[in-house]
Amino acid sequence: ASTASASKIVEHTFYVQNLTVDRLCNRRVINAVNGSLPGPTVRVREGDTLVVHVFNKSPYNMTIHWHGVFQILSAWADGPSMVTQCPILPGSKYTYKFKISKQEGTLWWHAHVSWLRATVHGALIIRPRAGSSYPFPKPYKEVPILLGEWWNANVVDVENQALATGAAPNISDAYTINGWPGDLYPCSQNQMYKLKVEQGKTYLLRIINAALNNQLFYKIANHKMTVVAIDASYTKPYVTDVVVAAPGQTLDVLLTADQPVGSYYMAARAYASAAGVPFDNTTTRGVVVYDGAPSSATPLMPALPAFNDTPTAHKFYSNITSLIGGPHWVPVPRTVDYKMFVTIGLGLEVCPANTTCQGPINGTKLSASMNNESFVLPTSLSMLQAFFFNVGGVYTTDFPAKPPIQFDYTNSSVNNNLPLLFAPKGTKVTKLKFNSTVEIILQNTAILGIENHPMHIHGFDFHVLAQGFGNYNPAEDRKKLNFFNPQMRNTIGVPVGGWAVIRFRANNPGVWLMHCHLDAHLPLGLATAFVVENGPTPDTTLPPPPADLPQC
């Protein structure tokens, strides 16, 4: 028996393996954990240590990332392939072991190699430690809601084909709620998520956007939702009838069953931000069924925003504020040691001789960059091993290599010869001193498609000081910075043709990836990394890797 406040070790075993499922009139073999899609929900309390033994019984190289977990002094367990570890080869295993502290709410875990997270993912729920409570009334029940994307084709083939031809990848065939497409798709009448509720009770929905390439609007007919946390960081309660989440983002929302006994659809579909951005123009739905509702009744359907309803998305994204003084709340650092202006966007690469490419302009392939650098993962050794063992030649510490190219970033008709369009490839990182503060102005470029890029930073939550449209203009936009109660996130959708200012403290040694959480853009190079040096004391120094760390 343990005392009320004792932290526990929570242990899981994940078998990543083939799973045969029927979806959209077809039988398919996918990769999944422990025979379920989504995979198992991991439940811990703040302060617990999580130990997960991952056995790779799939035919692919595998890693698991614990999206949003701070990984304090446990960078070896973060998971992005070739960043903090070499992949777990088919037939091999690796044990991820880390403590979860100073954060509460909904996070998730997912494969972090090629496109495998499409089906290798699940919820990671962090409740307050025993004896502590939520900063809102205790809900009657807690329910994970994972929004996903389904491909009829093998996702690794979809990705490889896109990379080989240089074209944009095929769009998905369905969106899903907790793995089910719902009754608007063929052969899916009975493949619909059902949430049973009791009238008068309040439920905590733990919503995760686990889709690969699409932001999603999510709504429940006739019900309001109260957002109480985003990305496992408590917020001032925010009441809304629709939420939007970019891939990687999570939301904790309270739902009270305060309507007449009946059935109500919940539904999700793309927020694609602009015409021309490829997306699957379909709707997934599940159903909320009140206890005692007649089974014959047709559920009410919510009216979802249009795919390009940027005002609705922007209102939701920008109006949420942090819960001042709430559990694990951190004030904004008021001094900045590293200030970076970083452009993010798509670009082109020249098609190799004697090949045919189907990129956006004849003889080119699609590419992507941050500050005119297109990121490439190393192949011989993980970046974290290179950092720890002082091995040269794996990455260079010259990001950003040059000052940003000045022009109107929001002008999509730029001359094709601009250097910004053809970014050089490299593995360039920013080296940060332990405990230094970093401010990044992320400027979305409109080259080759104007779209919202969800930028995710591993290992840290950041304060979102301001966001807006157009070119970032220091004279005007500095005045908009919120130092008082800005939201904290691990993933921000940088507005379409716009910018965001974020700030964080680099208080954890290791190598931390920053990248676009659209899986279509990560392999194109929309990434970079921070190498945070060790601090001055043993308890600010990264320990050596675990003995079973996979080797390349």
Name the minimum Å distance from CB 247 to ligand C2O.
Answer: 8
Burial class (CB in 10 A: 0-12, 13-18, 19+), 10: middle
Residues 550/85, Cβ–Cβ less than 8 Å: yes
| 233-240/425-426 β-pairing | unpaired
Name the minimum Å distance from CB 210 to ligand C2O.
Answer: 9
Q: What is the DSSP letter of 30?
A: E
Name the minimum Å distance from CB 109 to ligand C2O.
Answer: 9
Between residues 185 and 395, which has the closer beta carbon with respect to ligand C2O? 395
The closest residue (CB) to ligand C2O is: 67
Which residues have CB under 8 Å from 363's CB, separation 6+? 350, 351, 357
From 357, 363, 366, select the one nearest 449 (Cα to Cα).
Answer: 366
Name the minimum Å distance from CB 67 to ligand C2O.
Answer: 4
Count of other CB atoms within 10 angstroms of residue 90: 13
Residues 228/235, Cβ–Cβ less than 8 Å: yes
Which residues have CB under 8 Å from 30's CB, separation 6+? 18, 19, 21, 37, 118, 119
| Tokens representing residue 327 in the block | 């559990």
Between residues 503 and 517, which has the closer beta carbon with respect to ligand C2O? 517
| Tokens representing residue 20 in the block | 């045969």
Q: How many CA atoms lie within 13 A of 314 on its CB side?
A: 18
Name the minimum Å distance from CB 517 to ligand C2O.
Answer: 6
Rounded Cα–Cα distance for residues 202 and 199 (Å)? 9
Name the minimum Å distance from CB 63 to ligand C2O.
Answer: 10
Name the minimum Å distance from CB 79 to ligand C2O.
Answer: 8
Rounded Cα–Cα distance for residues 427 and 350 (Å)? 19
Name the minimum Å distance from CB 117 to ligand C2O.
Answer: 7
Between residues 23 and 110, which has the closer beta carbon with respect to ligand C2O? 110
Between residues 463 and 515, which has the closer beta carbon with respect to ligand C2O? 515
Residues 149/176, Cβ–Cβ less than 8 Å: yes
Binding site residues, ligand C2O, CB under 6 A: 65, 67, 80, 110, 112, 248, 456, 458, 513, 515, 517
Name the minimum Å distance from CB 527 to ligand C2O.
Answer: 8
Rg of the chain over Cα atoms, rounded to whole angstroms, equals 22
Sign of CA pseudo-dihedral 165, 167, 169, 171? negative
Per DSSP, the residues of 273-285 read: -STTS-----EEE
Between residues 447 and 522, which has the closer beta carbon with respect to ligand C2O? 522
Between residues 159 and 477, which has the closer beta carbon with respect to ligand C2O? 159
Name the minimum Å distance from CB 355 to ligand C2O.
Answer: 29
Residues 270/305, Cβ–Cβ less than 8 Å: no
